[in-house]
Structure 1
């Protein structure tokens, strides 16, 4: 009831429609031209291949001569071009990508021989398995000794047993850490 009373109290302008025009006016598109309904759609010609960098100039004569000289070299010398250019231009050497654990399809006899000749592990992880409740403070001090952790972080790490103490260390360093933890009253293992 109140709403209808409110609508009736708002004065209406007698020529409001003439002032505002049609509701579908195209005032925001000043150059709008309606499409001819009888006109055929435009056909665009696409290039044979897409080059995101646009047209390139042809190579210079010097580059063409260099390519011809490289193509004329024997295969042994052509193999040496890549490493020599990498060294001259000081490009970093590309590291091989590890495909360990990826499914590469059916295994051949050659791959089983590679597994047998697997290199000895050089990097080890040290895990804290358990510790004596009475020796907790000694273990925390030892953990702080060979890590860069503060007191609170070392305490939190020791309380989350089993926890990874150090990662990617040599065998000698791992054995040294295990002995220190054992002397403090804890049990650590090397993985």
Structure 2
């Protein structure tokens, strides 16, 4: 409820309390409320009446269209007025970043797809392939320290080779681990 209506309501309530037998007070309160309400309704009527009659006629015709007819109207207006389709998501290209020709976007997409394929792989998976039988205790201890497993879990892990040791290891760290386990007698590969 707006502030104006609240003050009007309070005024009427006070008038009714002070003179419950006075019919004039009741009439004036209800007339005041009707007057403010009708004035508000009239304000929209005045705004509509003051607009261009040609535009009012177009708005009336558009309001009578079905949903399919409205969609057809929008597409016709876009084509006739050369209005580009705007993406509905939050991602928009920066102004001037789109090429002017139709063949250039396809070439740009192909370049972007070829770029990731040409990039060098930076993260590797380490897989324990096998180990020498005599080096088994040393390999178990090293796997225990690398993976943070208990001695029993490390033994089970090494005995179940070939098995994936680590995922997403940087190249330098992976090469160090491979070299360390190779010196102990194990075969570890980087995938």
Shorter-chain TM-score range? 0.3 to 0.5
Query: TM (normalized to structure 2)?
Result: 0.41
